[in-house]
Homo-oligomer: A and B are copies of this chain.
Amino acid sequence: MIFRQLFERESSTYTYLIGCEETREAVLIDTVKSELDNYLKLLNQLDLKLICVLDTHTHADHITAAGALRTETGALTLLGEQANSFCVSKSLHDGDSISVGNINIRALHTPGHTSDSYCFVLEDQGQTYAFTGDTLLIRGTGRTDFQNGSASQQYQSLTQKLLTLPDHTWVYPGHDYKGWTRSTIGEEKAHNPRLQAQDEAAYVSIMNNLKLPNPVLMDIAVPANKACGNT
């Protein structure tokens, strides 16, 4: 499997490129529109054909390159059915499988950060990879106070879905603000402060008292992303 983690500094977003070494098909997860040319260049250099662009949710802090990549490459753009996006090629449902050459990506609906949040899971050479979007961050979790977010649902998504993955699973988040690039499910279970909450009520109490300001780009990014970034 070809794998690259890319970092967009302004929004501290991680974008992931996953490609099949045999068929040369590839997928990008959580793209940033300003990086479009870099994605096209890298795909070309690695001799990969982009067939699919996934977003873990409708982002509020950056604009997706999904629509532009579809225009440039013909790739399908996918986003959770809960996004009610009029422009995606196809809506994602919980449990969907996405095939990228010999790689099989499972989509898990993990509402909480937003109602349309998904995580993507794959296996390669005995290693499980989880692309956890803004549901599970390294030593944190995504805020739950807008876009139909729900701390209660997020607790269920974390405990019933993500934390049931094997402890050695690599966690590749949608963002990191401290320079950490990956973690594992076992590490997060043990050391993520929010996952030490005793029960759902304790978790909800933590999340409902964060008192964070709205993302600067929110009023621009959310409608733009519902339109696949085609502003």
Which residues in A have some Cβ–Cβ distance to B below 8 Å? 4-9, 35, 38, 45-46, 178-182, 187, 190-191
Structural contact, A6 and B190, CB atoms closer than 8 A: no
Q: How far is the CA of A5 from the CA of B14 in the complex (A)?
A: 14
Q: A7-B7, A9-B9 are in contact. Are A178 and B38 (CB under 8 A)?
A: yes
Q: How many copies does the complex hold?
A: 2
* Residues in B whose Cβ lies below 8 Å from that of A190: 45
Min C-beta distance of A99 to chain B, whole Å: 24
Structural contact, B46 and A6, CB atoms closer than 8 A: no
* Residues in B whose Cβ lies below 8 Å from that of A179: 6-9, 35
Q: A7-B180, A35-B179, A45-B190 are in contact. List 14 more A-B contacts (CB 8 A).
A: A4-B181, A4-B182, A5-B181, A5-B182, A6-B179, A6-B180, A7-B7, A7-B181, A8-B179, A9-B9, A9-B179, A38-B178, A45-B191, A46-B187
Structural contact, B45 and A180, CB atoms closer than 8 A: no
Interface centre among A8, A45, A181, A182 (most CB of B within 10 A): A181
What are some 6 contacts across the A-B interface (CB < 8 A)? Answer: A4-B182, A5-B182, A6-B180, A7-B7, A7-B181, A9-B179
* Residues in B whose Cβ lies below 8 Å from that of A178: 38
Q: How far is the CA of A76 from the CA of B178 in the complex (A)?
A: 26
